[in-house]
Amino acid sequence: MNSKCTLILLFILLVSCQKNGEEALNKPVKVSISTEKTEISDLFSEFEFIHLKYDELIPSIFRVKEYKEDLFLLDGRKDRIFKLGKNGDLDIFIQASGEGPEEYKSIGNFEFNKGSGELIVFDNGKRTICRFSDRNQFSGSFLIQPGFTASYGAFILGPENEIILDIIGGKNHRFLKVLMDKNEYQLFQPLDSAYLHLNYGGDRQVVRNKDGFSSIHPVESMIFQNNFGFQKTDSIDLDFGDFEILKSEIKNIKNDPNPFFDLIQNDEKKKAHSFGLLETENYYVVTYYLGSFMNGDYLNTLIHKDSKNSKTFKGIIIRGVELESIIIGQISDDRFILSLNIEYINNLTEEQKALISEYIPTDYLDDNPILLIGKVKAF
């Protein structure tokens, strides 16, 4: 065999291997739908319950963020951020709500700049990004011009002191990049999506990772991995089988909300929708509704990044007692933070409360939130 033939065969082999590698990389993740609650020891190898304590009632916590091994909690009703102390004690970290120039109206989301220590708050009332120093002093703000009509969900901080906001609505665009040092912003639509013009969304579809950020569209069952230049670097197709919204089903809906909500508010032909995303080093958690908002199921699917294995659960079970919960944050070492439905726990029978009292003592049942922090059990 001459050298020319050898080179041709090697080229064919290389292309074939590359193609097979891409097919393996993008192999759909089969999501096994389960609307059952799962025994806590089957989900987490380690877990702890934290009863939150403060001198007044805190009805709920909407988000939890990790920064320098501490946890910071958003009380979205009173627009303040707490720092979690020992034994569940809460200390006010920042409370600057108001109408003044150095105040925010309402906190939609928050992040820490790990380089400078600044706290970045997105004020979804004033459509303003506020910056607070590591000493919690107001240090600047940026107003998103009112002429740009859209609302915003999660945001992340990029490596060059920029903020990337997920857009909910806003025709033809998906992300807003705010250059804080230049006081300007740019619009991006990096995803090749059949749902481009569907102005529908939630507020938990973007999460930073070590190489860029991951995102999911509220009605498209695919996780996109992107670099900070808004270039797609990988994608994971989630296969929901008969529960998946097909491109053909929304082809003629365009941006008309009425037929679209007829599609997702159907409990006879349930569809998975309203996807949210959280991510740690080794796992994704995709949250979503199956069926209608009122009578459907709110589910969680854990996905192992390497194996692409998945596990779906609706809630947790402790010693045979079912509990309602919602995932509200993640910690880098594969731990996820859940908020338990305290009203549901308070309505358990005395016998059921006794069964779980080793983990959730009766003195926890004072209407303040209870957090569950669990480290994912390998599967």
* pLDDT tens by residue, 194-249: 566 666 667 788 999 888 999 998 888 999 999 998 888 889 999 999 999 988 88
Mean pLDDT of 287-296: 96
pLDDT of amino acid 196: 61
pLDDT (0 to 100) of residue 343:
93
50/217: higher pLDDT: 50
In this predicted model, what pLDDT tens digit does every residue of 147-192 receive, in sequence order?
665 677 788 998 888 899 888 766 666 788 888 878 788 877 655 5
Q: What is the mean pLDDT of the chain?
A: 86
| Average pLDDT estimate for 53-80 | 92
- Residue 145 pLDDT > 90, yes or no? no
Cβ pair 167, 215 in contact under 8 A: no
Q: Using the predicted structure, report yes or no on whether residue 109 has a pLDDT greater than 70.
A: yes
| Model confidence band, residue 22 (pLDDT cutoffs 50, 70, 90) | very low
pTM: 0.87
Q: What average pLDDT does the segment 283-294 reach? A: 96
Going by their DSSP bridges, the two strands 63-67 and 70-75 should be labelled as antiparallel
Residue pair 342/348 in contact by the 8 Å Cβ criterion:
no
Rg of the chain (C-alpha set): 23
pLDDT of residue 160: 83
